Amino acid sequence: MNEFDNFNVERTETGIASLSIESESAMNSLNDGMTEELLWLGTELNEDDDVRCIVLRGSDGVFCAGGNITSFDEDSSAPAQLRRGASFLNNVVYQLKRGETPIVTGIDGPAVGAGFALALLGDITLVHEEAYLQYGYPGVGLTGDGSATYFLPHLVGLQEAKRIALLNERIPADEAAEIGLVTEVADDESFDDRLEELATSLATGPTKALGAVSRQLEEAYARQLSEQLADEAEQIATAATTDDYAEGVSAFKEKREPDFVGY
């Protein structure tokens, strides 16, 4: 895998690909190069059967401060600039999510605006006790992109979602975990270990089934019961074609732990 200008990428023998945001712009903010690199990384890693969990985290006490507002146009070129940037980021998010490799985000510092959106991409999300999340966009008169308006209400319900987005307050780590915006909080000492533990837990699972379930749980909301049931029969039949299914059933019959390979 190549070197990147905005990410430090590490891969483990256990199938974890860890992307640390080390942005060239201030406060780990998004820039065009970073979005391009994330598209490249997301598509490559999702096609690689050896990658069984993607970890996305920040660096130096900042997860991601969002768009690089100092570069935003203030004149009539702004709508086109914003549409271009949002549509590109949105494609990155879609490819990252719909590749179906499980994702863990390690929110190791402030996550604001587009950084808030990236933080919520994790199937499992760990937040550092001193980090916070903030919706951010209304602070500059904007709405949201990068799936910020999609995952927020699904995670915490409509009441909390509106409070978080419309009042635009900082959500401390403890509160984020309490309302279900993130999965867990960890203190400074345990953060890295717990992040690896969660990633390993997913990376040793039946990757195809986990990826499919993650997608199904998201898609369930916009489907009526009959539609979701039809999808369940499709997905379970597909899962039954994998080596991991055969291994799971064998292990069950032999009363031992399964050893999943990810396909």
Which distant-in-sequence residues (6+ apart) come within 8 Å of 194 by Cβ?
Answer: 126, 184, 186
Which residue's CB is nearer to a copy of itself, number 8 or number 87?
87
Which distant-in-sequence residues (6+ apart) come within 8 Å of 14 by Cβ?
Answer: 52, 200, 203, 204
Which distant-in-sequence residues (6+ apart) come within 8 Å of 9 by Cβ?
Answer: 1, 17, 18, 19, 20, 41
Smallest separation (angstroms) from a copy of itself to the CB of 120: 9
Buried b (16+ CB within 10 A) or exposed e, 18-48: bbbbbbebebbbbbeebbebbbbbbeebbee
Is the Cβ–Cβ distance between 115 and 66 less than 8 Å? yes
235 touching a copy of itself, by CB under 8 A: yes
Which residue's CB is nearer to a copy of itself, number 7 or number 137?
137
d(CA 188, CA 207): 29
Stretch that binds a copy of itself, among 1-9, 29-37, 40-48, 239-247 (CB under 8 A): 239-247
d(CA 245, CA 263): 9
Stretch that binds a copy of itself, among 39-47, 56-64, 86-94, 186-194 (CB under 8 A): 86-94
Ranges within 202-231 binding a copy of itself (CB under 8 A) = 202, 205-206, 208-210, 212-214, 216-231
Stretch that binds a copy of itself, among 23-31, 32-40, 185-193, 246-254 (CB under 8 A): 246-254
Instruction: Identify each DSSP E strand in 22-123 by its residue range.
Output: 53-57, 103-107, 111-112
Which distant-in-sequence residues (6+ apart) come within 8 Å of 53 by Cβ?
Answer: 15, 16, 17, 101, 102, 103, 104, 199, 200, 202, 203, 207
Which residue's CB is nearer to a copy of itself, number 1 or number 166?
166
Smallest separation (angstroms) from a copy of itself to the CB of 144: 6
Which residue's CB is nearer to a copy of itself, number 5 or number 50?
50
Stretch that binds a copy of itself, among 10-18, 25-33, 54-62, 142-150 (CB under 8 A): 142-150
Question: Would residue 102 be called left, alpha or beta, if left means φ above 0 and alpha means ψ between -120 and 50 degrees?
Answer: beta
143 touching a copy of itself, by CB under 8 A: yes
Ranges within 35-74 binding a copy of itself (CB under 8 A) = 69-70, 72, 74
Question: How is residue 61 annotated by DSSP?
Answer: T
Which residue's CB is nearer to a copy of itself, number 33 or number 153?
153
79 touching a copy of itself, by CB under 8 A: yes
Stretch that binds a copy of itself, among 15-23, 31-39, 57-65, 199-207 (CB under 8 A): 199-207
Q: Single out the residue of 124, 170, 172, 203 in contact with a copy of itself (rule: CB under 8 A).
A: 124
Smallest separation (angstroms) from a copy of itself to the CB of 52: 12
Ranges within 146-185 binding a copy of itself (CB under 8 A) = 146-163, 165-168, 180-183
